[in-house]
Structure 1
Amino acid sequence: MRDLTWRPLRPEDAEASADLLNAMETVDGIGENYTAEDTLQELIDPYADLERASLAAFDGDVMAGYMKIRFKPSASEIHRVFLDGGVHPGYRRRGIGATLVDAGVAAAKVVHALHHPSAKLVIDVNRPERIAGLAELVRSRGFVPVRYFQRMEHPLGVADGPVVPEGFRIEPWSERNDEDFRAVRNEAYRDYWGSVPMPADLWRNKITNQTFRPEVSFLLRAARSPVGMLVTMCWDADTEATGVRDAHFMAIGTLRGYRRRGVASALMGHALRAATEQGYDRASLNVDSADPSGGPGVFERAGFTPAMRYVRWALEV
């Protein structure tokens, strides 16, 4: 601890961040591999205030651990910020993780006071439950589990033709309909727990970045109106590390008035077929176990099976 250098993260730390996260993956085995381009996207997130709300520990050129806070672009009664971070396997059990969590809680209060001071602050940590020592660490800082999410997977092979309900049509993503995708996502996610609308800058950072796969992303219309969307991502670092080309359905949304009418099933069927035809080996997605739109059941009927559970830990401040 005394020999480490502590400072805020910077965009030029992208390579060191990728090295750290890939070293963590060798021990944690949560299926997350990174390139420097991937970590740079996170470091230039418009809602990550690196100077005020990040901290990294360095041993020479090696990043031993880090934390960063991502605040929400909007908030009403509750402002939920994300605390992300990790410690290199070679530097664990030295108190670095505890120092980073404490720094993250303090930083969350700073950015909260700057952006949404009238709302109640809640700090979230969202990580797979299999990471050794994580539960003990966050519990010791007052975090409690409040929600569970499931990663689900679907092996791809011969795909049946998608069934599109009468009166609907599917179209692929394009720059021309990108705003329709974002509008459907924002409206569909209004009743999703902890979700807030994504402004255009966050959409570009988190969705239409280098991991976005427009050829496996689709919009569903009723007449001229967009009513459902599915966005697919794929991480080249994961493909290189595992040999499995995974089409990750990052966002699936249906407007409230069109739910339980086969919209999500049609979009998934279409995307599964497209992914199969384009040589993907597997499809995956993450779902809230308490999804109000019945997501888990829809995905199970589509052939997805549970693969890994995530825990959302929260600290009310």
Structure 2
Amino acid sequence: MPVGFAKLVRRPISPGDAAALAELLNAIEVIDVFGEFYSEEDAADQINAPMLDLERGTVGVFDGDRMVGYSSAAHKLLVEDVHRVTVSGGVHPEYRRRRLGAELLATGIASAKALHAIHHPGLPLAIDAQNNAGNDSARACYEAAGMAPVRWYSHMRQPLGAAVVDLPLPDGLAAEGYSGENDAEFFAVGNESVLDRWGGVPMPREQWRAFLGWPAFRPDLSFLLRDVGSGTAAGMVLTYSWDADTAATGVRDAHLMRIGTRRAYRQRGVASALISRALCSARDAGFDRASIEVDAGSPTGSSGLYERAGFSVARTEVRYTLNA
């Protein structure tokens, strides 16, 4: 048993816990392999997210100054039909097999219900959690809590270099990089396109501002396609890259975080052209690879789109849901 296990302290996570949270998440990554490493600044971005109520929605488990487990429940600010609260959590590898994970999951579910009662009590509640498909202990923990698998997500990678195909832009469309002048159009396209995705809801402006405020955001690798005739924004791609990942792996990864096409411009090669522009720019900027998370059950057939662009599946994650 780890030293001090019987004297663990549980309390809400605070902004001053960023370094301790980053250390915990990096220890979890070594075993569970989500492909995500954290700097203190990255952890601070997570802690300060607008949809996170630290007092009501988070718990950190501490052995002295060391965070050895955590739970968080992130409610939605805007909701369409069902309020989906995302529960996250983890336990340091040295503190596992003591039912601390089950305790933290139960805490997260209770927090989700409490937040739902405050923010959207008149709507149905769905509590979501996501983990690697191969993590048997996590699956058993979710199932014991009454959660069932409902969705599978493919984490895909593209090696850049010769694998990149430089596609021409669709007729009548022009490309431009992200700027303060077209920020509102990126925002509008993203919010329209997400409505067709499973569980997708619009992002409120305050969340958007925080999202683009992350140091990982790469405006130089983010693009908008515009209809030359009407001036309408047809589609957009936002790209991110985390220095902590590069430091830990030695690989510079350009992650296509968000891609969207307005309904009126679909089936015209907009998404393919955006992907090509982002990949070519990442290659020319010296990145080693690109990545994307894809809903394997997407009605738009996005997995096939990325396979044609040279992506292949690196790992799969499962979304578990409890309808509460």
Q: Does 1:206 align with 2:204?
A: no
Q: Any unmatched runs of 5+ in structure 1?
A: none
> Equivalent residue for 1:194?
199
Match of 1:184 among 179, 184, 189: 189
2:44 to 32, 40, 65: 40
Query: Is the CA contact (8 Å cut-off) linking 2:78 and 2:204 kept in structure 1?
Result: no
* Aligned-partner Cα distance in 2 for 1:300–1:40: 34
Displacement of 1:132 in angstroms is 4.6
**CA–CA separation in structure 1 for the residues paired with 2:129 and 2:285:** 35
Structure 2: which 5+ runs fail to align?
none
For 1:211-226, what aligned pairs fall within 5 Å after superposition? 211-223=216-228, 224-226=231-233
Contact 2:216–2:241 (8 Å) recurs in 1: yes
Rounded to whole Å, the distance in 1 between the matches of 2:301 and 2:196 is: 12
Which one of 122, 126, 151 corresponds to residue 122 of structure 1? 126
For the Cα contact (< 8 Å) 1:45–1:202, is it kept in 2? Answer: yes
Partner of 1:92: 96
Alignment deviations for residues 54-79 of structure 1 (CA, whole Å, 9 cap, x no partner) = 11110011111000110011123210
Of 274, 282, 285, 1:278 maps to: 285
Q: Check the 8 A contact 1:28/1:130 in 2, yes or no.
A: no
Contact in 1 for aligned 2:32/2:132 (Cα 8 Å): no
Tell me, in whole angstroms, the C-alpha distance in 1 between the residues paired with 2:263 and 2:58.
37
Partner of 2:315: 308
Write the letter of the residue equivalent to 2:80: S
Is 1:75 equivalent to 2:79 in the alignment?
A: yes
Q: Which residue of 2 aligns with 1:246?
A: 253
Deviation at 1:209, TM superposition (A): 1.4
Secondary structure of 2:16 counterpart: helix
* CA gap 1:287/1:160 in 2 versus in 1, 3 angstroms: closer
| Residue identity (%) | 46
- Across the two proteins, how many residue pairs are aligned to each other? 317
Q: How far is the alpha carbon of 1:29 from its aligned partner?
A: 2.3
1:3-62 C-alpha deviation (Å, 9 max, x unpaired): 100100001100000000011111122211000100101101111001011111100111
In the alignment, which residue of structure 1 is the partner of 2:239? 232
SS in 1 for 2:7: coil
Q: Deviations over 1:91-122 (max 9, x none)?
A: 00111111111111111111101100011011
Shift of 1:161: 2.9
Distance (whole Å) between structure 2 residues aligned to residue 179 and residue 274 of structure 1 = 23
Structure 2 Cα separation of the partners of residues 260 and 221 of structure 1: 15
1:57 is aligned to 2:61: yes
SS in 1 for 2:272: helix
TM-score normalised per structure 1: 0.98
Q: 1:268: which partner in 2?
A: 275
Task: Give, in angstroms, the shift of residue 300 of structure 1.
Answer: 0.8
- Amino acid in the other structure paired with 2:178: W
Deviations 1:243-279 (A, max 9, x none): 1000000001101121111000000111110000000
CA offset at residue 292 of structure 1?
1.6
CA contact 2:75–2:115 (8 Å) conserved in 1: yes
Secondary structure of the 1:272 match is helix
Cα distance in 2 for residues equivalent to 1:142 and 1:277: 48
Would you say 1:30 and 2:30 are equivalent positions? no
